[in-house]
Amino acid sequence: MNRYQISLARRREELVARSAAQRSALIGGLTPLATKAAAVDRIVGTLRRYSVVAGVIAGVATLLGSRQLLEAGSRLLHLYLLVRRR
């Protein structure tokens, strides 16, 4: 191999290494976003499966208002956690 080919091979190795480092940095930065997107996807899938329940909850939220709904949800969560312990 001549000097030019050796120089090109070295340059290629440097570019491949830099590309791998950039790819790792991008993947590391996108991991939190991917986990949030997966959570949203699970919620949407559940809402699609149980669309009637989602509609009832939306209707109750409209009638009661968000504040009362949050208070009731908080109470139900506490009750659920209390029952779950036993």
Using CA atoms, how far apart are residues 44 and 50, in angstroms rounded to an integer? 10
DSSP string, 16-70: HHHHHHHHHHHHHHHHHHHHHHHHHHHHHHHHHHTHHHHHHHHHHHHHH-HHHHH
pLDDT at position 77: 87
With beta carbons less than 8 A apart as the criterion, state whether 75 and 67 touch.
no
pLDDT tens digits, residue range 25-82?
A: 988 888 888 888 888 899 888 888 888 888 888 888 888 887 887 888 888 888 888 8
pLDDT at position 11 is: 95
**Residue ranges of the domains in the chain?**
1-49, 50-86
> Is 1's pLDDT higher than 80?
no
User: What is the pTM for the complete model shown?
Assistant: 0.42
54: Cβ contacts below 8 Å, ≥ 6 apart = 47
- Residue 80: per-residue pLDDT: 85
CA distance 70 to 6: 68
Which of the four pLDDT bands, split at 50, 70 and 90, describes residue 14? very high
